[in-house]
Amino acid sequence: MTVKAIQHPLIQHKLALMREKGISSKDFRELASEVGNLLTYEATRDLPTETVKIESWNGKTLNTQKIKGKKITVVPILRAGLGMLDGVLRLIPNAKISVVGLYRDEETLQPVAYFDKVVKDTKQRTALIVDPMLATGGTLIATIDLLKEKGCKKIMGLFLVAAPEGLQAVQEAHPDVDIYTAAIDDKLNDKGYILPGLGDAGDKIFGTK
């Protein structure tokens, strides 16, 4: 697994704004989308391209580079992942969307999928999972399990903030998945929140607190 913490100044600046106490839901939502957009740019850097002949503006034939194959499905994890979705789609407007929702079983404490609507041609697509917070890694691991069961072969994850504990868990369970994050923070607290983190990203995006 490669973990890339993206040090771009725009990303760091926007993340700093998101960490401030009292940020409005509107600002948080806009910034989550903008950072999602910038992370997408980084994560798609190595997508394979192929040479395609086109007829150009003056009638001449030109060899150009286009992305090869069936391309991408974006996988927002409900509900907070929806806050990064439009930022991703602004760069990849033709991507198909596969939505996944999970809850935590109170007895086993394991994440269980209560909703999944995944594109049919997962085998030919790169999945770009989006979720603001990679905390314990449990939800991400379950989402990757689900996508692999459906035949998905290439999976990447985009996060605003990741905890070292979650990164390690994902590395152990799915060493073939690449992670792009705007920050790797210090640790989880005893409630599973990332420190210093962003607080509850879902509540901030949806204005439910």
Nearer residue to ligand URA within complex by CB, 60 or 209: 209
| Interface segment toward ligand URA; rule CB under 6 A; list 37-45, 117-125, 146-154, 199-207 | 199-207
Q: What is the dihedral of CA 27, 28, 29, 32, to 10 degrees?
A: 120
Task: Flag whether 147 is marked binding.
Answer: no
- Any idea what DSSP says for residue 136? S
Residue 31 interacting with ligand URA (CB under 6 A): no
Nearer residue to ligand URA within complex by CB, 79 or 96: 79
- Cα angle value 124/148/80 (rounded, 5°): 95
Q: How far is the CB of 84 from ligand URA (least distance, A)?
A: 13
Ranges within 178-197 binding ligand URA (CB under 6 A)? 192-194, 197
Q: Is the bond preceding residue 29 a cis peptide, omega within 30 degrees?
A: no
Ranges within 73-112 binding ligand URA (CB under 6 A)? 80
Q: Which of 135, 142, 144, 177 binds ligand URA (CB under 6 A)?
A: 135
Q: Which residues of 34-47 are buried (b: 16+ CB within 10 A; e: fewer)?
A: bbbbbbbeebbeee
Q: How far is the CB of 92 from ligand URA (least distance, A)?
A: 25
Task: Flag whether 104 is marked binding.
Answer: yes
Contact by Cβ (8 Å): 166, 137: yes
Residues in binding contact with ligand URA, number by CB under 6 A: 10
- Cα angle value 116/119/122 (rounded, 5°): 110
- Identify residue 38 by its one-letter amino acid code: L
Nearer residue to ligand URA within complex by CB, 72 or 201: 201
Q: Report the distance separating Cα 10 and Cα 80, nearest Å.
A: 22
Task: Flag whether 141 is marked binding.
Answer: no
Q: Are strands 96-97 and 99-104 parallel, antiparallel or unpaired?
A: unpaired
Nearer residue to ligand URA within complex by CB, 27 or 200: 200
Q: How far is the CB of 82 from ligand URA (least distance, A)?
A: 13
Which SS3 state, helix, strand or coil, does residue 154 take? strand
Which residues belong to the annotated binding site for 5-phospho-alpha-D-ribose 1-diphosphate? 79, 104, 131-139, 200
List contacts with ligand URA (CB under 6 A): 80, 133, 135, 192-194, 197, 200-202
Which residues belong to the annotated binding site for uracil? 194, 199-201
